[in-house]
Amino acid sequence: MGPYALMALAWVICSVWIAFVIATNRKAHPKVLFYLFFVEMWERFSYYGMRTLLTLYMADGFLKYTESEAVGVYGAYGALVYATPLLGGILAEKFMGYRKSILWGAFLMMLGHFLMVVESEMVFLTALVLLIMGNGFFKPNISSMIGKFYARNDPRRDGAFTIFYMGINIGALLSTLTCGAIGLDPNMGWHVGFGLAGVGMLIGLLIFVYAERTGVLGDKGYAPYEVESNKSGTAMPAVVAGDPSILDDNTMNTSAALSDENSGTSDNEVESFTLLENPIVPKQFGLPVNTLIYILSFLAIPFFLLLMQNHGILKYILGAIGLGMVAYLLISSFQYEKVQRQRIWVIVVLFFFTIIFWTFFELAGSALTLFTKNNVQPGELLNAAMFQFFNPFFIMVFAPIFSWIWVKLAQAGKEPAAPIKFGIGLLFLGAGFLVLNLSKGSAVAGLIPPMFMVFLYLLHTLGELTLSPVGLSMVTKLAPAQIVGFIMGFWLMGSSFAHILGEMIAQFTAVPKGTPAVESLELCLSVFNNLGLIAVASGVLLIVASKVVNKWMHGIK
């Protein structure tokens, strides 16, 4: 049973599972949920399919980058991918509407994926820039759009976001196996793998266009100038109001969205709109605002190319932004009374711990993938790229179990507070790295058994399921209403900072081509062991300090 057999088995199982989910939920939810489920599934198929191959392609494909150069580009790409949705969410809410933003983002990403097949360094970097910008327009708005079809107190809301979240992980699972198997097959090649990612995005785009044509989107997703709300009030952008679903693929508590907090609707109402017959299209510099945004998107390509080619600059830019945000929050906290002030301090404290978590966790796409290529015994089922499949697989297996555990603990009054969950997540993360150090005794000629990588991904996923669902939901509760938008932007930028810090760490594991496996194993295990110790120490520190942190939260759970 080789990689293709495993890939085929995954497709069969996932197809049956999707059919079962739709059959058992189609009467309980509006049809639009399942359209958007497939749109997001195929978009994530394209994203994770490309990411599966990216670092390996840069190191071993046409580009022949050194490992140091490869992890540098990967870090810059990841940082910008997580930064642009902040702007994309605001542009959608203020000017474009969700529909046009999703279509434009999908088009840019599809174009970027297909350009990846061209063997040119400049075209390759341009393709990454298109993916970065497309993600900015697409990612925050597809998730936010689902929330518009459910009232805040609708009992179906949790189930809807759970189904949507399932689509994300099915797309990630299938793409890592499919693009990983085909992209690393000498008879197929990298470009077929990248092309498949592009096909995935094309399918997602066509499904969304079809959904528009069939009318299942109803009155949702139009630009502000195209509709008139049937309720008074102005909706806040989801990216500002604190929708925990917009950026983090692994956030489970997506139903805590607050994007309609100021929409004028009650908790039991879904905001409705009337489509204007002759909308007045806003203009800037004599151009319709949407046309201007499309033009500016392409004009921004050289700027992003500069950052991709000189990612050292990006470190300083993001570093300055991060320190500035922290300083602003700490200074601003003294403008509030004691309760709000200390709640802001909690956000800042947990922000640093969450950056530690995601910095180490996101090494999966760079340092850990290269380590798998260099120092893991090749198997019949999985190649180096396909190991990333274990994360979405374990999420699908354990997420329902974790959800059940938290519910039972809450009913018994024993559910851990957020800081303790953060600490436990860091302990799982650290344990995953420390497990790798145990592999040294089983290594043969510098190659360790694959099972150690499976245990690493298992423990990392358990950490993710412990920590990730808590973060954004908790921030929306702790943040003062006056600066909730700024704090959400601050928190979400943490993923961007984490990718840059991860790139700096990955440099310590990068080895020159031709380095003996025994030497690279010794180097990488030393680095991973240190990361494990740091993560465990951070988790213990946070658990010990949880009493103080909980006190500062003043009753917020």
Statement to judge: residues 296 and 362 lie in one domain: no
What is d(CA 435, CA 486) in angstroms, rounded to the nearest whole number? Answer: 39
Q: Give pLDDT, residue 266.
A: 53
Could you tell me if residue 240 is inside a domain? yes
pLDDT in tens, 304-330: 999 998 888 898 998 898 899 899 999
Could you tell me if residue 326 is inside a domain? yes
Statement to judge: residues 38 and 64 lie in one domain: yes
What is d(CA 328, CA 126) in angstroms, rounded to the nearest whole number? Answer: 35
What is d(CA 224, CA 94) in angstroms, rounded to the nearest whole number? Answer: 7
Give 286's DSSP letter. Answer: T
Q: Give pLDDT, residue 153.
A: 73
Q: Is the pLDDT of residue 238 over 50?
A: no
Please, which residues have CB within 8 angstroms of residue 526's CB and are 6 or more apart in sequence? Answer: none
Statement to judge: residues 381 and 517 lie in one domain: yes
pLDDT in tens, 411-428: 888 888 889 999 999 999
| C-beta of residue 434 within 8 angstroms of C-beta of residue 470 | no
Statement to judge: residues 300 and 327 lie in one domain: no
Q: Give pLDDT, residue 239.
A: 40
Could you tell me if residue 453 is inside a domain? yes
Q: Is the pLDDT of residue 342 over 80?
A: yes
Confidence of residue 270 (pLDDT cuts 50, 70, 90): low
Statement to judge: residues 444 and 305 lie in one domain: no
Among 59-68, 228-237, 309-318, the range scoring the smallest mean pLDDT is 228-237
Could you tell me if residue 255 is inside a domain? no
| C-beta of residue 550 within 8 angstroms of C-beta of residue 528 | no
Statement to judge: residues 526 and 427 lie in one domain: yes
pLDDT in tens, 462-475: 999 998 877 777 88
Confidence of residue 263 (pLDDT cuts 50, 70, 90): very low
Statement to judge: residues 203 and 330 lie in one domain: no
Describe the crossing of helices 484-506 and 367-375 by its angle, rounded to 10 degrees. Answer: 30
SS (H, E, C) 106-149: HHHHHHHHHHCCCCCHHHHHHHHHHHHHHHHHHHHHHHHHHHCC
Classify strands 273-275 and 283-284 as parallel, antiparallel or unpaired.
unpaired
What is d(CA 222, CA 237) in angstroms, rounded to the nearest whole number? Answer: 13
Across 93-102, average pLDDT: 89
pLDDT in tens, 154-213: 778 778 888 888 899 999 999 999 999 999 998 998 999 999 999 999 999 999 999 999
Q: Give pLDDT, residue 230.
A: 64
Comparing CA positions, the residue from 43, 227, 195 lying closest to residue 134 is 43
pLDDT in tens, 111-123: 999 999 998 999 9
What is d(CA 27, CA 547) in angstroms, rounded to the nearest whole number? Answer: 46
Statement to judge: residues 346 and 419 lie in one domain: yes
- Which amino acid does the sequence have at 209? V
Could you tell me if residue 303 is inside a domain? yes
Confidence of residue 455 (pLDDT cuts 50, 70, 90): very high
Confidence of residue 248 (pLDDT cuts 50, 70, 90): low
Ranges 92-101, 134-143, 355-364, most confident: 355-364
- Which amino acid does the sequence have at 116? M
Statement to judge: residues 356 and 207 lie in one domain: no
Confidence of residue 511 (pLDDT cuts 50, 70, 90): very high
Cβ burial, residue 206 (10 Å; 0-12/13-18/19+)? middle
What's the number of domains the chain is made of? 2
pLDDT in tens, 392-416: 999 999 988 988 898 898 888 888 8
Distances (CA, A) of 527 to 122, 316, 446, 508, 520: 33, 24, 16, 7, 11
Statement to judge: residues 301 and 375 lie in one domain: no
| CATH code for the domain in which residue 128 is found | 1.20.1250.20
Statement to judge: residues 233 and 288 lie in one domain: yes
pTM: 0.87
Could you tell me if residue 465 is inside a domain? yes
Q: Give pLDDT, residue 512.
A: 92
What is d(CA 89, CA 135) in angstroms, rounded to the nearest whole number? Answer: 11
Note down the domain range covering 206.
1-249+264-309
Q: Give pLDDT, residue 296.
A: 94
What mean pLDDT, rounded, does the chain reach?
87
Could you tell me if residue 239 is inside a domain? yes
Across 73-90, average pLDDT: 90
Comparing CA positions, the residue from 164, 152, 162, 156 lying closest to residue 33 is 164
Could you tell me if residue 19 is inside a domain? yes
- Which amino acid does the sequence have at 96? M
Confidence of residue 237 (pLDDT cuts 50, 70, 90): very low
Statement to judge: residues 109 and 220 lie in one domain: yes
